[in-house]
């Protein structure tokens, strides 16, 4: 009789098996990021104009986005607000919506993602022009 906690005959995974599963999951997410990026052209016209060029250079080519954009991309609200000029502060929610809806998930969300991002061109997703 199966228990409510699942199949009692199923063995638990070892730590090394869980690590392999984690690596496979990361590889899967990266492949989905590449697949989406290859099939989707990012529409930067929806991005606030005063940060558009910096954000596009970061996403496409991996250039350093600067202090304010780095804080926003790394999901650091207090630092973002502290580094924002008046125009950036006024449009912060619009910028966050653009990042969330338009950009590949591998280029924002944490400091490690932002620091390791090399750009779509350098990932082999986009051809250099």
HSE, side-chain direction, 13 A CA sphere, residue 4: 0
Q: How far apart are CA 48 and CA 13, in angstroms?
A: 47
Number of domains in the chain: 1
With cut-offs at 50, 70 and 90, classify the pLDDT of residue 121. confident
Q: Is 99 domain-assigned?
A: yes
Lowest mean pLDDT among 32-36, 53-57, 98-102, 109-113: 32-36
Q: Is 66 domain-assigned?
A: yes
Q: How far apart are CA 52 and CA 34, in angstroms?
A: 22
* Residue 3: per-residue pLDDT: 54
Q: Is 32 domain-assigned?
A: no
Q: Is 83 domain-assigned?
A: yes
Q: Is 58 domain-assigned?
A: yes
Q: Which domain holds residue 88?
A: 41-116
Q: How far apart are CA 84 and CA 56, in angstroms?
A: 18
**Percentage of residues in the chain having pLDDT higher than 90:** 55
List the one residue out of 113, 108, 47 whose CA is nearest residue 80: 108
pTM beyond 0.75 = no
Token pair belonging to 127: 């051809």
> Cα separations (Å) of 61 from 15, 87, 119?
37, 25, 4
- Summarised one tens digit per residue, pLDDT across range 19-71 is 556 566 666 666 665 565 555 678 899 999 999 999 999 999 999 999 999 99
Q: Is 51 domain-assigned?
A: yes
């Amino acid at each position: 009789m199966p228990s409510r906690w699942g199949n009692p005959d199923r063995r638990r995974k070892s730590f090394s098996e869980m690590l392999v599963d984690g690596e496979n999951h990361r590889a899967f997410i990266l492949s989905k990021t590449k697949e989406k990026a290859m099939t989707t052209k990012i529409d930067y016209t929806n991005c606030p104009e005063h940060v558009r060029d910096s954000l596009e250079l970061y996403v496409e080519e991996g250039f350093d986005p600067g202090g304010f954009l780095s804080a926003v991309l790394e999901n650091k609200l207090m630092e973002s607000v502290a580094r924002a000029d008046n125009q950036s502060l006024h449009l912060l929610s619009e910028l966050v919506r653009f990042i969330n809806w338009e950009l590949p998930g591998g280029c924002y969300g944490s400091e490690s993602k932002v620091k390791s991002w090399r750009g779509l061109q350098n990932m082999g997703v986009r051809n250099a022009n």
